[in-house]
Chains A and B, each alone.
Chain A
Amino acid sequence: MADPLPFRPPAAAPVMPDRPAVRIEDLRLTRRWRKVIDGISADLGTPGCTAIMGPNGAGKSLLLRTIAGLEKPQGGTITFAWPPTPEKRRVALVFQRPVLLRRTALANLVHALRQFGVPRAARTDQAMALLERADLAHAAKTPARALSGGEQQRLALVRALGQAPDLLLLDEPSASLDPRATAALERLIRQAIHDGVRVLLITHDRGQARRLANRVVFLHAGRVTEDTPSDRFFDVAQSPQARAYLNGDLLL
């Protein structure tokens, strides 16, 4: 078993097991007069990993970005299971294309740990621990942007984990990775889930959703059309949109 997350401020009480990390009620978001999120209500961030699936343009990424605070919805509410504490961010987001600073892999993590309030004396050690977790210790002094796609995404993921989040949002993290890199990334995600981090994972990869998720939320045209345990979803999807998606039909 890998080392536990290297840093967690003592004040951050864990989310109660029976409570979702985030409750969304009647969320509405409009872009250029188009309703991209059209009244979504759901309890998300339940223990384990929830896969958010659906065709392009269904509103998956915008939903995650809204939860992360990057988009301002026109209506509805988002309530987290913890009181607002600006000094400790409990939601982390990993983008489809990793955004890394123009520094070495180690310096990227040290910078992030500084933002997360880790004391200066502990930063390098914790950054190295995160690099080891990502199997990137050998690349500590390598410019982050010179790493391979899979390595960059693993670095972005452990950077997010360095925040010790309660809720981890993953926006198609393995969309452009080969199977080997995807497997390495999934190992890290699985470890995070094992450590108690609740994961919302956007993916088009059904195999990945089967491997990682215990719940699937299916979106279509900005609405939730199905919200079921993942084994049930893949066996007997209820909504016609989800069935069509799983059958490989073109959902317009």
Chain B
Amino acid sequence: MVNKDAMEPFTTAFANAWHLIWTADADLMGVLALSFQVTGLAVLVSCLIGFPLGAILGVGRFAGRSASLVAINALMGLPPVVVGLGLYLLLSRAGPLGVFGLLYTPTAMVIAQTVLVTPIVAALTAQVTEEMHREYRDLFATMGMGQVQQAATLLWDGRFALTTAALAGTGRAFAEVGAVMIVGGNIDHVTRVMTTTIALETSRGELALALGLGLILLVLSLAINAGVMGLRNMGMRLAHG
């Protein structure tokens, strides 16, 4: 039998969470806005680095390519807290980059997420471009295309698959908590994002905001996956009719 008294805090929390979302609570919106800013910028920088890097790894034939591919694949599973710790040491006052005063700023969080997302984007890009390159290799050779031109062509032709890579990175960045908590410090109205707020509010027993943000995170996750599927289908239609 369900204990109604025990369930009450949860139902109240859900109701309060829904109220926060429905009324566009200022704190909630602030946290959301910063999350989007940090993640958006991190994914953008990751794509700017990861797409060409992955394409070069996918197309290029050079010494150390296999080792680079193994390394980039291994980095996909980089533990966020280790990244956070490493960046903390680099960015802290006594660290080599301490002079820039970036610790506990959104910039530090962008850097942390970029470090985590770039290997994902680069590794997926390498996979996509390598597979396409097998198909296009002879054509490229007969056209006398250099490796940079080949990489550019593959990036354009694989754009829908690569958008999937970017969305996978976005999912990872949105859900990340360990690294941004360490380098951002979870400072109210400064470096507080969705995941760190959920962690903090849950530990304080304030479930409404945590639940509200959790619901939004879930919706975002669903939207990202739907976007991935939609883009894949659109890519198939455009490529093959």
Contacts and interface: CB of A to CB of B under 8 A. Distances in A.
Interface of A: 65, 68-70, 86, 89, 91-93, 95, 99, 101-103, 111-112, 115-116, 142-143, 145-147, 160, 163
B155 to A, nearest CB: 12
Contacts of B237: 143
Given A89-B144, A146-B241, 5 more contacts: A70-B141, A91-B142, A93-B142, A145-B240, A163-B143
Chain A, interface SS category: loop
Interface residues of B, number: 20
A115 B238 contact: no
Interface stretch (B12-20, B131-139, B181-189): B131-139
B156 to A, nearest CB: 8
Nearest to A100: B139
Contacts, number: 54
B interface: dominant SS: helix
A69 B138 CA distance: 10
A69 B238 CA distance: 32
Interface in B155-209: 156-158
Contacts of B144: 86, 89, 115
Contacts of B235: 102
A142 B241 contact: yes
Top 3 A-B residue pairs of the complex, sorted by shortest distance between their CB atoms? A146-B241, A102-B239, A99-B139
B153 interface: yes
Nearest to B136: A99
A10 B87 CA distance: 58
A101 B153 contact: yes
A146 B240 contact: yes
B145 interface: yes
A130 to B, nearest CB: 15
A92 B138 CA distance: 11
A66 to B, nearest CB: 12
B142 A70 contact: yes
Given A70-B142, A86-B144, A89-B143, A101 B136 contact: yes
A111 B152 CA distance: 11
A160 B240 CA distance: 21
Contact of B157 (A89, A92, A103): A103
Interface string B27-58: 00000000000000000000000000000000
B149 interface: yes
Contacts of A142: 241
23 contacts: A65-B138, A69-B142, A70-B141, A86-B144, A89-B142, A93-B138, A95-B139, A99-B135, A99-B139, A101-B136, A101-B153, A102-B158, A102-B238, A112-B143, A115-B143, A115-B144, A115-B145, A116-B143, A142-B241, A143-B237, A143-B240, A146-B241, A147-B241
A66 B70 CA distance: 33
Contacts of A115: 143-145, 149
Nearest to A115: B143
A92 B142 contact: yes
